[in-house]
Structure 1
Amino acid sequence: MAEHFASVDDYIGSFPEEVRTVLERIRRTIHEAAPEGIGERIGYGIPAVTLDRRILVYFAGWRHHVSVYPVPRGDDAFRRDTGPYRSGRGTLKFPLNAPVPYDLIARTVRHLVAERD
């Protein structure tokens, strides 16, 4: 049975320390890359960051990886850079046994913001 979390803090707090550290940094990266006025909530059981009360991006922790959803279309360079991390059409999957490319997560957020309009 899936757990239900009251907040993003509760969700992140449910993970072992090494995963919590990565999730907190992803959270900070998203907040730094997004415009002012974003919010947070739990959606589909995972953290969601909102902009203008609409979901902008989700992120999640798993046993062996962390994920960011959805994947924007982006430009050719973005598609090339995200290629190794794509899992399906709408997911970026970053293994926990390798450095997480936080700069790529920031680029993902900036593309998602740009593609909203």
Structure 2
Amino acid sequence: MTYEANSVEGYIDQLPEERKEVIANIRKILQENLPEGFSEQVNYNMPSFVVSHSIYPGGYHCDPKLPLPFISYASQKNFVALYHMGIYANKELMEWFVAEYPKHCKRKLDMGKSCIRFKKMDDIPYDLIAELATKMSPNDWINLYEENVMKQTKKPK
């Protein structure tokens, strides 16, 4: 489902009642646990934490007018999703998360490259999300992004 909003509060206000608390909890966890330097905004029609242009002027390679995305979350039709770009770009972080997940959640991990899907609202591993949020600073993300993502997008001369 796509919700259009100019603010995170506006996004949450549009959600069905059963999703509002879940999304608000994820937001609070990220606000409290992400290292200093990430900015909160709506990006790609979902609440996001990004590296702003004031810190990383080049922005996102797919659209340099946008800030560098880091973590987003959304209420989709059949699940709540957490999109963590660092997991996609850092093999060790991915391995850590996959190993930790069963210790925090009784259901099987449902995950894409950067998307973690939660289909049961009563079994979201909030403690694990909090710990994941602490694992990468804006500078760590910028370095990883430039090393892995930007290197792959540059064409050979």
Q: TM-score range by the shorter chain?
A: 0.7 to 0.9
The match for 1:43 is 43
Give the match's secondary structure for 2:47: strand
List gaps (5 residues or longer) in structure 2.
54-67, 103-107, 144-157
> Are the equivalent residues in 2 in contact too, given 1:64–1:96 (CA < 8 A)?
no
> Greater strand share, 1 or 2?
1
Q: What corresponds to 2:100 in structure 1? A: 81
2:22 touches 2:121 (CA, 8 Å); kept in 1? no
Question: What's the Cα RMSD here?
Answer: 2.5
TM-score, normalised relative to structure 1: 0.80
Paired residues, number: 117
Q: TM-score, normalised by structure 2?
A: 0.62
1:30 — aligned with what? 30
User: What is the CA deviation profile of residues 24-48 of structure 1, one whole-angstrom value per residue up to 9, with x for unaligned ones?
Assistant: 0000000111123432111111111
The structure with the larger Rg is 2
Does the 8 Å contact 2:2/2:76 carry over to 1? no
Corresponding residue number in structure 2 for 1:65: 79
- Structure 2 CA distance for partners of 1:33 and 1:97, relative to 1, 3 Å: closer
* Separation in structure 2 between the aligned mates of residue 55 and residue 97 of structure 1, nearest angstrom: 25
- In structure 1, C-alpha distance between the alignment counterparts of 2:83 and 2:7, rounded to whole Å: 18
Contact 1:56–1:112, Cα closer than 8 Å, also in 2 = no
Partner amino acid, structure 1, of 2:5: F
Percent identical among aligned pairs is: 26
Using the alignment, how far apart are the partners of 1:16 and 1:2 within structure 2?
13
